[in-house]
């Protein structure tokens, strides 16, 4: 590999360290770290209790549980919970995703192959094609679909009964789901970001599974930089383990965790290079804003989508950046985080959170 390519590959690696989305290889590793039962799930106490009740009641009645919608940001456990639902019901799980269903026929093929009690998991359900969505409404409510044979005036609809099944939908964008679809779920679970002590438990659990020797304050350090997201916690743990094995004696201590995360440019609050780059451009080059998202993206040399979808949600959630009708602005906290003094006018009279 040419040196520049190597640098570019590293760049991508660093840039994605705190992205909440999983990349290709990561899915395999994640599968090994997934809790398999509701009892093993850390945090999300309310969702766990409610879901436990829904499943237990269905088991007692000997029926398939109501359809379940799991919503929330990436990496918080939607796929994990879908698998647990099937596992707890001892039912086969069929997996598909919204983008894979481009025609109603795709969905009809899946549904007609279902057996009683099967769990159908549709990931990214908000991205399903409209005609398929309409077919799904009917399947969810009446366990029936109309399969259309032929085209044009000669087309006929053949009704087809489907055995009772449970649909589990997952979405990062519950707001994009059409009302009729949302209303057909009997139970909706909204996953919340995790508290540091919960991430701490997840890190200890993962370290056990991965055979990593971890000290308590090392785990706490990783937890506090994981942006409330188990996927990121597990990813940072793996990178810190690399460091511990190569540069230390293999044990993840507080010092090792700190040194490793400094090397990977993940700071105390979990901001990475891109996040700080965005804040830095906003404060130093644009005087704190307001500045349009496209301009800001050019200034940090990234795609607009990357800034908007990877960096911004975390910065907004943590009160470093605000979206206003005139553009993005840095909050006083952003200036302080960069070690800069916010302009007095910002603190005094600019409305920060107008939408």
CA distances from 326 to 206, 267, 318 (A): 44, 29, 20
User: Torsion angle, CA of 112/115/117/119, rounded to 10 degrees?
Assistant: -60
User: Of all residues in this chain, which one has the CB nearest to ligand ATP in the complex?
Assistant: 77
- Per CB under 6 A, does 33 bind ligand ATP? yes
Of 118, 123, 200, 280, which one is the catalytic site residue?
123
- Per CB under 6 A, does 199 bind ligand ATP? no
- Per CB under 6 A, does 200 bind ligand ATP? no
Nearest distance from C-beta of residue 350 to Mg ion, angstroms: 39
Closest CA to 47 of 60, 35, 29: 35
151 is catalytic: no
Residue 247 is assigned to a ligand binding site: no
Partner that binds at residue 43, options Mg ion, ligand ATP, none, CB closer than 5 to 8 Å by kind: ligand ATP
Give the separation between CA 114 and CA 93, rounded to whole angstroms: 10
123 is catalytic: yes
- Per CB under 5 A, does 79 bind Mg ion? yes
94 is catalytic: no
- Per CB under 6 A, does 282 bind ligand ATP? no
Of 231, 235, 239, 241, which one is the catalytic site residue?
231
Q: 109-116, long-range: CB within 8 Å, 24+ apart, which pairs?
A: 111/135, 111/139, 111/145, 111/160, 111/162, 111/165, 112/145, 112/147, 112/160, 112/162, 114/162, 114/163, 114/165, 115/163, 115/165, 116/64, 116/163, 116/164, 116/165
Between 166 and 172, CB nearer to ligand ATP: 172
Binding residues: 33-34, 75, 78-80, 141-143, 184, 194, 231, 304, 323, 328
Which residue ranges make up the site for Mg ion (CB under 5 A)?
78-79
The residues carrying an active-site annotation are: 78-79, 123, 172, 231
């Amino acid at each position: 590999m040419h040196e520049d390519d190597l640098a570019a590959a590293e760049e991508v690696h660093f840039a994605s360290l705190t992205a909440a989305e999983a990349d290709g290889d990561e899915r395999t590793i994640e599968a090994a770290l997934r809790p398999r039962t509701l009892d093993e799930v850390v945090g999300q106490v309310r969702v766990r209790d409610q879901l436990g009740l829904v499943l237990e009641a269905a088991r007692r009645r000997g029926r398939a549980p109501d359809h379940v919608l799991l919503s929330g940001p990436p990496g918080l456990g939607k796929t994990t919970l879908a698998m647990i639902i099937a596992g707890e019901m001892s039912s086969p799980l069929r997996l598909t995703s919204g983008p894979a269903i481009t025609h109603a026929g795709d969905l009809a093929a899946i549904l007609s192959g279902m057996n009683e009690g099967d769990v159908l998991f549709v990931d990214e359900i908000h991205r399903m094609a409209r005609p398929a969505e309409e077919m799904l409404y009917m399947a969810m409510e009446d366990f029936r679909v109309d399969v259309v044979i032929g085209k044009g005036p000669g087309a006929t609809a053949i009704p087809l009964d489907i055995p009772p099944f449970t649909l589990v939908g997952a979405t990062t964008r519950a707001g994009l789901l059409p009302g009729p679809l949302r209303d057909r779920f009997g139970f909706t679970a909204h996953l919340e970001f995790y508290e540091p002590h919960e991430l701490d438990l997840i890190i200890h659990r993962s370290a056990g599974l991965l055979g990593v020797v971890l000290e308590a304050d090392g785990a706490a350090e990783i937890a506090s930089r994981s942006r409330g997201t188990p996927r990121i916690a597990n990813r940072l743990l793996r990178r810190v383990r690399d460091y511990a094995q190569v540069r230390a004696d293999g044990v993840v201590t507080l010092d090792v965790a700190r040194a490793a995360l400094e090397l990977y440019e993940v700071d105390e609050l979990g901001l990475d290079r891109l996040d700080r780059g965005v804040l830095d451009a906003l404060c130093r080059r644009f005087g704190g804003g307001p500045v349009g998202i496209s301009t800001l993206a050019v200034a940090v040399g990234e795609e607009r989508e990357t800034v908007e979808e990877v960096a911004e949600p975390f910065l907004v959630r943590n009160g470093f950046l605000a979206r206003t009708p005139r553009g993005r602005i840095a909050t006083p906290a952003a200036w302080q985080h960069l070690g800069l003094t916010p302009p007095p006018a910002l603190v005094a009279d600019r409305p920060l959170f107008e939408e």
